[in-house]
Structure 1
């Protein structure tokens, strides 16, 4: 299994000057943890700053990408653009994109294919809302979302399971909840990709913090975390990194 991935999703936070300060602070204090990869998913305007200032070995990526290669798509950012500045990853299908921008599973799959075609690893997000969880339908719902979001997509992916009810709410799925879905996702990936599924990392996201990340990532099918709020302060990032040592 590849390294545990700690993917930091800044969402719409930090100006380029703030990003520089954050990266400089990280560079001063960061000590790599064996077996742990750190990657920053930042607003597009911050990425060049991160490329110039992050510590060696810390990756970065975008929070969204166009489903199109290039052309008359005002305001969009292509996978080739992200790749050209050194990005390694891009988040696709985050619940906020699905909710606020009407992204469908088909849209997510198209974006993931564009990412792969340009040498980026897509972090494909799936997960249920509270009403689905309360009906006990979280597994079939999430696996259906996964199937649609991976249509035509190769195995060079990362999957992020994010129960929508736990994102930014302070509520966190238990480690057992995370493992239930991660194990189901792993089984579905094996059916789709065969032996290649062994190398696909399944992340958990949703109110992850330094004090709960070790328990969650200690589960056998959870290979890291997609972190929102706790990614914005370097001490929290260092705390999570150290907890995974």
Structure 2
């Protein structure tokens, strides 16, 4: 059954007394899906979208658009839902401030250097124990860097953050060296986020990554240029062979990439 057929069936169900149907959808994608059904040689794209909008207007009596979570809400979510075992003491909003500063730095083309306080946070790093579930343990450094990248890459979807956190946990379980080597863990986390956001057209081979990063400089997106800046200052350089290993590991625990047509 196609999307539009499903909606038609639900519309009939919703017409019954004492029946309330709640949808959680991406409005734009749903509109395009319904419009596609009415698109033909007699109806152009604009008309089909109007037809789709009229149809959806009969089905949805009340529409509530969720607000984008703010840095404070996201930091609380990361701490309480993803890293609840870490005693942070205060919200890790500083990491969001760092990501915003990085973006502002790119925007203003400032010459000041910006570094993630990863080395300083390494003092909080726990040594890996022989306990089999040691990979489940996280450190303050990991929380801060995860929070930094959440702001830097503009990821506000809780489901996406949960999936990324689960992937990090799996990586640590598969490759225990990441538990004791904070720099390697940092690189894996970065490329995990990198693979998530730039899924379409991301290079397969490590030697193509520098050229891909270089192209971000000409992007009009503040996020793209901020990511490039962070890469050049805190991630680059990487030996091609070692980077390929990281990319292969990250892709095995990630959603499939979107391939260009």
Q: Which TM-score tier does this pair reach, normalised by the shorter chain?
A: under 0.3
TM-score by length of 2: 0.25
Larger Rg: 2
Higher normalized contact order (CA 8 Å, seq sep 6+, divided by chain length) = 1
| More strand by percentage | 1
TM-score by length of 1: 0.26
| More helix by percentage | 2
